[in-house]
Amino acid sequence: MKLQLTHLRLLVSNYKDSFLFYRDLLKFDVDWGDEESGYAELNTGYLKLGLFKKELMAEVVPRIEQPSYIVNRDKTVLIFAVDNLDEVYEQVKNHNAIVVTEPQDRPDWGIRTAHFRDPDGNLIEIYSNLGIVS
């Protein structure tokens, strides 16, 4: 099982202002999205910086009532690309990770995703491309 860290995603309350800040002030090139899309990927040179409206992420990852979630709503997501999402998901699940979402195709995103938490409660997404977008 080899994971490749590809994105750092900030879950933001004020999406439009955040988008404009990273695009216009910090001068990151936009690879995907715009100021109204609710999600954008900005090219930082090595990792993608994703901006995502908190409310939209909450639709994907339901609230789990655990102490770390109650005190702090998720603000970041570690995102790893994997070759075989279902295989990695089963390995993670079999090691008693806190599973948040089971594998699911997300055609609008062009990827298949699953979510779980690390031992400290940090949200992690694994994904593989569906081959429908480049």
Helix (H) or strand (E) holding 128: strand 123-129
Q: What's the pTM?
A: 0.65
Lookup: tokens for 110? 């062009």
Taking the chain (134 residues) in consecutive chunks of 10 residues, what is each chunk's mean pLDDT?
A: 86 88 87 94 88 83 56 75 93 86 93 86 88 64
With 0-12 / 13-18 / 19 or more C-beta atoms within 10 angstroms meaning exposed / middle / buried, residue 49 is middle
Domains, the chain, ordered by start: 4-129 (3.10.180.10)
Q: Which residues of 69-106 are buried (b: 16+ CB within 10 A; e: fewer)?
A: eeeeebeebbbbbbeebeebbeebeeeeebebeebeee
pLDDT of residue 70: 47
- Predicted local distance difference test score (pLDDT) of residue 133: 55
Contact in structure between 118 and 66 (CB atoms under 8 Å): no
